[in-house]
Structure 1
Amino acid sequence: MTLIYYIIFIFLSIFHKQLCLELTSTINDFNDPLILTPLIKKGNISYAQNAAKVKPLMGDINSYAGFFTVDKRYNSNLFFWFFPTANKNKNSPLILWLNGGPGVTSMVGLFEGHGPYYLAENGTLIYRKHNWVSDHSVIYIDNPVGTGFSFSDPEGISRTQADVAKNLYAGLVQFFELFPEYRSNSFFVAGESYAGKYVPALCYEIHMKNSKAEFKINLIGLAIASGYSDPKHMIEGIGEYYYQMGFIDQNEKVFYNNFSKIICDLIDKKLWLSAKNKMTELHFKFLDLSGFSSFYNILKYEHYSPFEKLDKFMQKDVVKKSLHVGNKTFTSYSNDVMIAMSENVMISVKPMLEILLENYRVLYYYGQLDLITSYPLAVNVFNNLNWSGSGEYKNATRKKWFVKNTLAGYSKTVKNFTEVLVRNAGHLISSDQPIRALE
């Protein structure tokens, strides 16, 4: 018996040593990105969590980062940065945040919007007082693959909303395997601008998968800031809107109305790329007529972009080492992703949204000063939704919305649906009005 025990001991020692060597190689090779999928598949959850832990870039803010393989065929991997809530409440809601573009990193939402850090112009980090992590756990994912630190072979770059949703769902399943303690938390998907298409597409994917999958994601609702979800109905009234705002005159309004009709006809004919190119032409026409270089805020005619400072910061060796991204290059905005998604830009997610409205809480909020996804154009989208609350919505009364005894905007709620106009905010609501966005 002693000999048998000795043999077993030697075998287990060798196995443990080999396992440790594998894990050490996976965790400590700083030239390679930390791909957590193999560890998760082997059930080495505690090792994976420890490997993903981020050395705080400032203070004692707790976070995790790494990659999930979402399509092995094309080496497609999504980068995530996860911040557990600072309030230590294990039941706090969990939020997935996605930026738009297509091709814009979700690190814009983290650093420019509502994460615990703010990135100053000189590249230093500043603690953000009003941040979402104070009372929520938040996952930021660079989406689609090819955006930010996320990477893929060229064949794996997403071309449709279905591609995006499939990859995000695969990443989420792995997230809940890596952090099983969050499976019962209320889960929300949120995003901004073009993520007005990503968010409904992902939520619809979750909705469909939950009807069959053994593990069901506890999706409660979705929230979309400055959402671009239904291109046709946002374009229809654009000439009248610009005219009423004083940016174009009567003759130019006629041009806009005729041109937007051409775009809508192309959408009806499913000539997606032609419609997208015409829309781009229309946008440049506005910049030429108005003298603006940005659509983001009526009060700010000069263009502002955080991409340059964000690229410099994320490419620092200390940052890349802390986030376990190895030698991967960071891209704030991916033109490759934009080109790949071009034919999908003008396709509506309205049918998905109509199903989601019957099953989940849905919030859309828009800045009063936004020129690119303007509130009146969004209302046109809402008025054209076919769901059980559509008639009630059209007759519902808008209410004043106050934050800290100050008029923050106006809201309307019907059944599961709430729409909000945020005063004194442009396209980037969290940047312009952080307290109101947090509320």
Structure 2
Amino acid sequence: MQILSHTLLLSAACGLAASAAVNLQDKRSIVKRDGVTYNVFEHAATGAKMEFVKNSGICETTPGVNQYSGYLSVGDNMNMWFWFFESRANASSAPLAAWFNGGPGCSSMIGLFQENGPCHFVNGEKKPSLNKYSFNEYANVLYVDQPIGVGFSYGTDDVTSTKTAAPYVWKLLQAFYAQFPQYENRDFGIFTESYGGHYGPEFAYHIQEQNEGIKNGSVEGEKINLVALGINNGWFDTKLQEGAYIDYAYKNSYKQIIDDSQRSSLEDSLKNDCLPAVEQCLSSGSDSDCQDASSTCGDIENTIIQAADFDVYDVREPSDDPYPPATYSSYLADSSVVKAIGAKSTYQECPNGPYNKFASTGDNPRSFLSELSSVVKSGIQVLVWAGDADWICNYIGVQRVAEAVEFDGSSQFSNATLKPYTVNGTKKGEYKSVDNFSYLRVYGAGHEVPYYQPAVSLQVFKQTMQQQAIKST
């Protein structure tokens, strides 16, 4: 499972040439290794090499729908895993979306197999079946394991923070476009969750900076036509969201976790210890101050976790029976599956190594509200949403972040009342939208919203990718 708690489980060179002369030097070949046939693409502009298997027959079995799984070298001994699925509808014209799970340091195979991918596990089955609510019902979807060391990615991990992760993601997309040039001018969206409250704003902001550099000639590369950003149950801003741990634990729709006395004590800790430490982190920006803030505020979270028996990702479940079940991870340990998809490492869902590097720079309490505001101001469609049974990145804190975003419609958005959100006439949550910015609370959903409410998730995904404010149907 992915995690955002402070203590619980809690740049690359990117100048890319894209001239016709350089592209003529790109190399393509077929290599057979250990019984696996790889398509090899060597990108002259970056020196990157992509090796992938086409149509492994794993997960997506819809006739005529292509899939590609493999590696892109984004640096010396830095092999980033990707799994790409064409859209089941109009792949030649459908938009492109990328999915990133959080952590920091958790695999996007979580999203692929448990949430919004072409296949899922039903009723304890050991093999997946087709998911009719997959995001590739509408779009071409790219799942990425980053940073290096996460999931099936392997090699040297130079990433120590959200900001140092972003250039590698941009480089991966540049090489992806070089291999699959038909997607260069498509509408592109980023969807993410959990620590994606850091990733999403920063990745989108970095892409927009690179686009501006390409426009003024300071950066060489392909412009990425970013039109949408969606983040569910995200961790954006400790200053705004830490107190929501206490508020949600005291009063939510499902389970009271702390009593009046515990609440009072925790609020004292928040006021006297946690928030001053966060202010010091934000003021100085030093790794040591931000590490201290992470540890100090983590004491609040640990106290709440110890107060009652509950799953931090779904308060309706006990702590010793995490939900949803991790059936997929056993599937990805099957040697025949690993061989078929072209993976070259042992799958690791949320390894400690990459996480510890983020912890060493105090990345967690650093705020990405400014980047989120900048992205909203840029005019692309932005959706911030949350399942209301999740505690670790709960909807109370997420709504506070949404109402703190600065854009032309900020005042109108903050003062707007929530309206029922329906799918085919059935109420599934409540929302508000102003201009290109939407917030949605999803009823009856834990941390991984698409697992619990797949029809809702596909509907809001489509609407956001279509550059619409979300609306009831």
Is the pair's TM-score, using the shorter chain for normalization, greater than 0.5?
yes
2:365 matched to which residue of 1? 346
Task: Choose from 219, 226, 229 the match for 1:222.
Answer: 229
Contact 1:68 / 1:171 at 8 angstroms: preserved in 2?
yes
Given the alignment of the two structures, is residue 313 of structure 1 paired with residue 331 of structure 2, yes or no?
A: yes
Larger % of helix: which? 1
Out of 246, 265, 282, the residue aligned to residue 255 of structure 1 is 265
> 1:71-107 CA deviation, whole Å, 9 max, x = no partner?
22xx212100000001134221211000001111100
Give 1:407 shift. 0.5
**Greater alpha carbon shift after TM alignment, 245-254 vs 352-361:** 245-254
Give the AA of the match of 2:368.
V
- Letter of the 1:198 partner, please give it: Y
Q: Which of 355, 363, 375 is the aligned partner of 2:374?
A: 355
Give SS of 1:52's match.
Answer: strand
Question: 1:132-191: per-residue Cα shift (whole Å, max 9, x none)?
Answer: 1111111000011110011222xx331111111011111011111111111121100000
Which amino acid in 1 is paired with 2:245? I
8 A Cα contact 1:222 1:363, kept in partner: yes
- Contact 2:248–2:391 (8 Å) recurs in 1: no
CA deviation after TM superposition for structure 1 residue 222, in Å: 0.2
Aligned partner of 1:80 in structure 2 is 82
Q: What is the match of residue 172 of structure 2? A: 171
Runs of at least 5 residues in structure 1 that lack an aligned partner in the other structure: 1-18
Provide TM-score, normalisation by structure 2: 0.81
1:263, distance to aligned residue in structure 2 (A):
1.6
**Cα deviation, residue 334, structure 1:** 1.1
Aligned to 1:95: 97
Amino acid at match of 1:158: V
Distance in structure 2 (CA, Å) of the matches to 1:146 and 1:385: 33
Structure 1 residue aligned with 2:316:
299
Q: Distance in 1 between matches of 2:188 and 2:414?
A: 29
Fraction of identical pairs, as percent: 25
CA distance in 2, matches of 1:432, 1:193: 15
What amino acid maps onto 1:229 in structure 2? F
Supply the AA of the counterpart residue of 1:131.
S
Q: Which residue of 2 aligns with 1:423?
A: 443
- Report what 1:371 is aligned to: 391
SS at match of 2:383: strand
For residue 300 of structure 2, the aligned residue among 276, 282, 285 is 282
Moved more, 385-394 or 342-351: 385-394
Amino acid at match of 1:29: R
Partner deviation per Cα, 1:278-308 (whole Å, 9 max, x = no partner): 333322211221222x111232233416686
Cα pair distance change 1:306/1:23, threshold 3 Å: farther
How many angstroms does 1:249 deviate by? Answer: 1.5
The 8 Å contact of residues 385 and 398 in structure 2, kept in 1 or not, is answered as: no
Q: Match of 1:77, SS?
A: strand
CA distance in 2, matches of 1:239, 1:123: 38
Q: Kindly provide the CA deviation profile for residues 340-395 of structure 1, in whole angstroms up to 9, marking residues without a partner as x.
A: 11121111111111110111211011112221111121222223333322211112
Q: Relative to 1, partners in 2 of residues 1:178 and 1:352: Cα closer, same or farther, differing over 3 Å? A: same
C-alpha displacement of 1:315: 2.6
1:246-303 CA distance string (max 9 Å, x none): 32111111111122232221111112112222333322211221222x1112322334
Question: Aligned partner of 2:369: which letter?
Answer: K
**How many residues get paired?**
409
Structure 1 308/406 Cα, relative in aligned 2: closer, same or farther at 3 Å?
A: closer
**1:397 aligns to what SS in structure 2?**
coil
Compared CA separation, residues 112 and 254, structure 1 to 2 (3 A): same
Report the alpha carbon displacement of residue 48 of structure 1 after superposing the two structures with TM.
6.8
Q: Which residue of structure 2 aligns with residue 62 of structure 1?
A: 66
CA distance in 2, matches of 1:129, 1:237: 34
2:279 and 2:401 map into 1 onto residues whose CA distance is 16
Q: In the alignment, what sits opposite 1:116?
A: 118
| 1:244 CA drift (Å) | 2.4
1:95-136 C-alpha deviation (Å, 9 max, x unpaired)? 100000111110000000011111354531111122111111
Structure-2 separation of matches of 1:90 and 1:170 = 23
TM-score by length of structure 1 reads 0.87
Q: Residue 245 of structure 2 contacts residue 392 of structure 2 at CA under 8 Å; is this kept in 1? A: no
Does residue 1:240 correspond to 2:247, yes or no?
Answer: yes
- Higher mean Cα deviation, 356-365 or 384-393? 384-393
Matched AA of 2:200: V
Distance 1:306 1:392, change over 3 A: closer
Match of 1:322 among 340, 363, 368: 340
Determine the C-alpha separation between the residues in 1 that align with 2:95 and 2:191.
12
- Runs of 4+ aligned structure 1 residues displaced above 4 Å come to 31-36, 305-308
What SS does the corresponding residue of 1:275 show, helix, strand or coil?
Answer: helix
Could you tell me which residue of structure 1 aligns to residue 132 of structure 2? 129
- Asked if structure 1 preserves the Cα contact closer than 8 Å seen for 2:244 and 2:394, the reply is no
Query: What is the distance in 1 between the residues matched to 2:230 and 2:137?
Result: 18
Mapping 1:194-209, distance limit 5 Å? 194-209=195-210
Query: What SS does the corresponding residue of 2:236 show, helix, strand or coil?
Result: coil
Inter-CA distance 301–405: structure 2 relative to 1 (3 Å threshold): same
Unpaired segments ≥5 residues, structure 2: 1-25, 215-220, 282-288, 460-473
Q: Name the SS for the 1:39 alignment partner.
A: strand
- 3-state secondary structure, aligned to 2:186: coil
For residues 180 and 375 of structure 2, what CA distance do their matches in structure 1 show? 26
Note the 1:154-193 alignment, pairs <5 A.
156-193=157-194
Kept after mapping to 2: 8 A contact 1:110/1:116: yes
Alpha-carbon contact 2:114-2:328 (below 8 Å) kept: no
Shift of residue 40, structure 1, vs aligned partner = 3.0
For the aligned residue pairs, the C-alpha RMSD in angstroms reads: 2.6
